Amino acid sequence: MSHAGGWLFDRVMGGWDVTVYIPDLTDVRPLQILGAQIRDLDDAFVSLDQRPRPRALAFAADLFARDLRARKAIMKALDHTLTEVTLWGEARSAELDESTDSVQHRLSAAARVFKVQALAAAQAPAAFCGFSETFRSRLIARPPTADLVRASCHVS
């Protein structure tokens, strides 16, 4: 939530079908506040090859390091040039650094408000909700939206 909540909200409001796969379904209210659909993480990997290929995949970077299934899914998506791959969080990997760039998403005013509410529902500190969120991403040549920009660019 703290790393990508505003971006998820803005994608939902932009008409994206946003589904969040999490390992524990006991407290889904914060994600519901953001407008995301919630599914069990294990279900994501069971049917990954049976569904149409998504236009975008986003993962917590630490999942890449600790879950072999996620690692395989991310690497497979990076090989597919029509899938935007975005990771958030502090975990770093030389393997991912070679394939991704630092990007930012500028949060809408509504995203900042809903992110603060989602953080409060998660009982997470929300003293400051910034104006942007930073990720590692492999942007595709013709993105469906331009909501992620290289972090070195300035957005007016």
pLDDT score recorded for residue 156: 46
C-alpha to C-alpha distance for 11 and 7, rounded to whole angstroms: 6
The alpha carbon torsion through 37, 128, 103, 53 (nearest 10 deg) reads: 0
pLDDT digit string (tens) for 57-100? 888 888 888 889 888 888 888 887 778 889 888 767 787 878 88
3-state secondary structure of 135: strand
Rounded Cα distance, 125 and 75, in Å: 33
pLDDT of res. 8: 95
Q: Would you kindly state where each structural domain of the chain is located, as residue ranges?
A: 5-150
Q: Model pTM?
A: 0.83
94 to each of 61, 64, 74, how far by Cα in Å? 12, 12, 14
Q: Which of 94, 76, 93 is nearest to 85 (CA)?
A: 76
Residues of the chain with pLDDT under 70: 47-51, 91, 126-128, 140-156
What is the C-alpha radius of gyration for the chain, rounded to an integer number of angstroms? 15
pLDDT at position 124, please?
Answer: 86
Looking at residue 141, what is its pLDDT? 55
pLDDT at 154: 47
Query: In whole angstroms, what is the distance from residue 32 CA to residue 30 CA?
Result: 5
DSSP per residue over 89-100, as a string?
Answer: SS---HHHHHH-
Return the pLDDT at 76.
Answer: 83
